Amino acid sequence: MRQAISGLLFVIFCHKTAQSSERSVITHILENYDRRIRPVHDESQITLVYVQLNIIGLLEVNAPQEYIKLAVSFDHRWHDEFLTWDPLKFNGTKKVRVPADMIWRPDVTVVTAVLEAEYIKEKDDLFLNIFYDGSIYLNFPIVLTNYCAMKTDTFPFDTQVCTITLSSWLYANDEMILEHTGKMRMIEHLNTEWEMFPYESETTDFFTGEVYFKNLHYHQKIKRKSTYYVWVIIVPTFIVTALSIAGIFAPFNNTGEREEKVTLGLTTLLTLAVILSLVTGEMPRATNLPLLGRFILFEISVCVVSMALSLCIMFLHQRSTTRQWPMPQWLMKVAFCNRRDQVHKIFDQATDTELKKCHESEDNHGKLAGICFWQLNKSIIKVNNLLERMEANDDRKNCWTVVFDQAMRSSRQRKTGRPAQRE
């Protein structure tokens, strides 16, 4: 029992001693400290600020307004010559934590931000670590809305490179320099629509006319995952267009009535127009038309040309059948339409010998039978001629139908690139 009480008292004593030591260190280093002064004894000495960007996740990519929203955290490390102490004098205390607004901090600003950064943790709750040798470490997470110039010529197979630029507004290169630590953390949460790659960093000098400022650039590469657009937009539009072309150039009947093809073409154009309106909402208002937009416009153009050809063929077919245009011989050969000149005779005409015998007969019954036979034969010849004209008219209509069906198949062959089967 005594040992347990002694151990508990020892822990309490150590904790109180540690708290007393940290309080003593903070009181010691912040006494007469001015956070408005750059932390160097020699003003000609340059302050090095090491920056590390940690990308937590990609929250949004807004292509029409050309910005991306990231959840990131920044690590800042620098050396403060005024914040040092001897650990031996303070019970071995080597590190203390103080509110970030109590000491000097580098004014590192994201110059490519389009909106004010949203602090995940309130500014008043930010703390930094101070080490006995004057090293300072500050970490703070923010939601960053950064400008990103979108190049959507190959949308939805596009790859974007967004640059996050950090710089100082107050201190030029002769006072403070920004450097990347060279360490890179893995992205914790991937985006479902975009594939993210490790960023690349570089530093450049920006001349304002009097002095140079150091800029630190982070180039973040992202690639769009195109599976959604392929299976939801590209494949359905291709199938709809292919079915529309096949339906427009397919003969539904042999009478030349193809009005349902116009309805099919208009329905296809309406479908493609709706899909195009959905795609335009995902694309920026750029000068160049994206690849997906060109693909859909090409499909619309194909449907329009197909409808125009179908209407022309319907008009010519209707004219050829109602105006009784004769079929040229060369066109019959091209369309493989051989008109059959059939002559159907019900009865043979009476020979001259039979008529002569009929007239020379002295029998009244023979004369009457001859006259009836001659009248009947005359009527049969008229009926036969009428049937021949009707059959010739039907053959002409059928030949024109074959000609325009051949034209339909030829047009379909040119558009689909496949040979049309002869019906």
- pLDDT range class, residue 306, cuts 50, 70, 90: confident
3-state DSSP call for residue 372? helix
Name the nearest CA neighbour of 38 among 155, 174, 195, 231: 174
Residue 333: predicted pLDDT: 67
- pLDDT(341) > 50: no
* Residue 350, token pair as written in the block: 């009476």
- pLDDT range class, residue 348, cuts 50, 70, 90: very low
CA torsion through residues 58, 61, 66, 67, sign:
negative
Q: What angle do CA 244, 246, 249 make, to 5 degrees?
A: 105
> Is the CB of residue 25 less than 8 Å from the CB of residue 134?
no
DSSP 210: S
- pLDDT range class, residue 30, cuts 50, 70, 90: very high
Residue 276: predicted pLDDT: 79
Residue 188: predicted pLDDT: 55
Mean pLDDT score of the chain, rounded to an integer?
Answer: 79
**Which residues, including other chains, have CB under 8 Å from residue 279's CB and lie 6 or more apart?**
233, 292, 293, 296
- pLDDT(140) > 90: yes
Residue 366: predicted pLDDT: 56
Residue 318's Cβ-count burial label (10 Å; 0-12, 13-18, 19+) is middle
Q: CA 179, CA 115: separation in Å to the nearest integer?
A: 24
Higher pLDDT, 274 or 418: 274
Q: CA 89, CA 29: separation in Å to the nearest integer?
A: 13
> Is the CB of residue 141 less than 8 Å from the CB of residue 56?
yes
Residue 5: predicted pLDDT: 44
Residue 342: predicted pLDDT: 38
* Residue 128, token pair as written in the block: 């930094």
Residue 278: predicted pLDDT: 78
> Is the CB of residue 209 less than 8 Å from the CB of residue 372?
no
The per-residue pLDDT for range 161-196, each reduced to its tens digit, is 999 999 999 999 999 999 998 766 666 567 888 999
Q: Cis link prior to 326 (omega < 30° from 0)?
A: no
Residue 15: predicted pLDDT: 43
> Is the CB of residue 124 less than 8 Å from the CB of residue 101?
yes
> Is the CB of residue 224 less than 8 Å from the CB of residue 159?
yes
> Is the CB of residue 156 less than 8 Å from the CB of residue 193?
no
CB neighbour burial string for 135-144, b if at least 16 within 10 angstroms, e if fewer: ebebbbbbbb
3-state DSSP call for residue 84? coil
DSSP 75: E
How many CA atoms within 13 Å lie on the side-chain side of 100?
A: 17
Residue 406: predicted pLDDT: 64
Indicate the Cα dihedral angle 228, 230, 236, 240, nearest 10°.
160
Which of 199-208, 218-227, 237-246, 254-263 bottoms out in mean pLDDT, i.e. has the lowest? 254-263
> Is the CB of residue 401 less than 8 Å from the CB of residue 254?
yes
Mean pLDDT, rounded, for 31-56: 93
- pLDDT(226) > 60: yes
Mean pLDDT, rounded, for 230-254: 79
Q: CA 34, CA 80: separation in Å to the nearest integer?
A: 12
Owner of token pair 């493989």: 336
- pLDDT(274) > 90: no
The per-residue pLDDT for range 357-384, each reduced to its tens digit, is 555 554 555 555 666 667 777 777 777 7
- pLDDT range class, residue 349, cuts 50, 70, 90: very low
Q: CA 421, CA 417: separation in Å to the nearest integer?
A: 13
Owner of token pair 């002295």: 362
Instruction: Indicate the pairing of strand 108-110 with strand 159-168.
Output: antiparallel
> What is the set of domains in the chain, with CATH numbers?
25-225 (2.70.170.10), 228-323 (1.20.58.390)
Residue 351: predicted pLDDT: 46
Mean pLDDT, rounded, for 203-215: 92
Instruction: Note the Cα 406 to chain centre separation in Å.
Output: 39
Residue 33: predicted pLDDT: 94
The rounded percent of the chain whose pLDDT value lies above 70 is: 69
3-state DSSP call for residue 83? coil
Mean pLDDT, rounded, for 5-29: 62
Residue 84: predicted pLDDT: 95
The per-residue pLDDT for range 87-135, each reduced to its tens digit, is 999 989 999 999 999 999 999 999 999 998 898 888 778 999 999 999 9
Residue 345: predicted pLDDT: 41
Backbone φ/ψ region at 221: left (φ over 0), alpha (ψ -120 to 50), beta: beta
Higher pLDDT, 289 or 1: 289
